[in-house]
Structure 1
Amino acid sequence: MVAAYSLVTKFGAKQKDVATVLGCSQATVANWVKEVGFQKEINGLQRELNDANEYIEELQHMLPPPEEDYIDGDYSEEDDY
């Protein structure tokens, strides 16, 4: 998958040519390129979150405690908006 992604995005190869070389369909290569792109984006966001965790923890300690109806990251009743 990563090889297909790199060949298409970094080297400008056509998906159908990559598919021929890898012995799969062009649709498979298209899906791999899309999936690796999503994984790359997710990993980038995860790195940003990891880098920001210390700051996030400082902010969290500055906030008042959650309300009683707050359970496991969500409100048990309708959210107040």
Structure 2
Amino acid sequence: MIAYLDRGVRNGKLSENARDAALSRLAVTSDLGEFTGCHLVIEAVAERLEAKAAIFGTLDKVLAPEAKFASNTSFLPITELAA
């Protein structure tokens, strides 16, 4: 993410202030308990159904019912993740 935003700054498509503001709104963690209070979660774990399903199952217990999940999957059926 940092490299992507830095490239935007180098190419003149993004100011340094905008890059810094965007980065200040992002959080990265491996402790799923820290997701309490999040409204949107985008997972990007390995393309293994079991791994993604385990994370979604844990997040389902931690997040509020109105929270949104997104998956960075390229070939796994999203309906199987939501099951």
Higher relative contact order (Cα pairs below 8 Å, separated by 6+ residues): 2
Larger proportion of strand:
2
Larger proportion of helix:
1
Larger Rg: 1
Pairwise same-fold verdict (TM > 0.5): no
TM-score by length of 1: 0.30
